[in-house]
Copies of this chain bind each other. A is one copy, B any other.
Amino acid sequence: MSGTTRTFQEYLKANRLKLTSQRKLILDIFVSGSQLLTAEELFRQVTEIDPGISLSTVYRTFKHLQQAGLARCVHYGDGTTRYEPSEGHTSYLICEKCGRKIPILNPYLECLQQESARQEGFRMFRSQTTIFGLCHECLKEHLPNQKQSNRHH
């Protein structure tokens, strides 16, 4: 039994919630799959295995996973909301041209955040740092294009 499964079961028990087959399956697919799924996308993957599961249940389970600290959602600029397992990174570089999302590995960032919170008497649950800009690859294409886009419209 994986760590996340145990965590989820503990959360359920602590809140007098029940472990259903649907919740098991949703958790399984969520933590094992690639990250940053739309609720709809996870729903599609889940129904491939159990076609009876409803989208409502996916949303409801997401809520619990979030409260259990196992999932977090990221709101994208395009309006979509994507969910990801909340182990791992919370800091990213996001390229505004190609959408590439690069995790930031600098551990000092988290330390400084903890420290900032502490200074205010604040209890930190989670943090999120997003740095917007242009990635290495897009920078190379961006600069030559600059002249053309100046004369636009």
- Which residues of A are in contact with B by a Cβ distance under 8 Å? 15-16, 67, 75, 81, 91, 93, 95-96, 102, 104-106, 108-109, 112-113, 115-117, 120-136, 139, 149, 153
28 sampled A-B residue pairs with Cβ under 8 A: A15-B153, A75-B75, A91-B116, A93-B116, A96-B125, A102-B120, A102-B122, A106-B116, A108-B112, A109-B112, A112-B112, A113-B129, A117-B133, A121-B135, A122-B133, A122-B134, A122-B135, A122-B136, A123-B133, A123-B139, A124-B132, A125-B134, A126-B131, A127-B131, A127-B132, A128-B130, A128-B131, A129-B129
How many identical chains are in the complex?
Answer: 2
Name A's interface SS. Answer: mixed
Q: For residue A128, which residues in chain B have a CB less than 8 angstroms away from its CB? A: 129-132
Query: Do B121 and A113 touch (CB < 8 A)?
Result: no
Report the minimum CB–CB distance from A56 to chain B (whole Å): 16
Report the bound CA distance from A20 to B16 in whole Å: 57
- Which 6 interchain pairs have the tightest Cβ spacing? A121-B136, A75-B75, A127-B131, A124-B133, A125-B133, A129-B129
Select A117's contact among B81, B93, B105, B120, beta carbons within 8 Å. Answer: B93
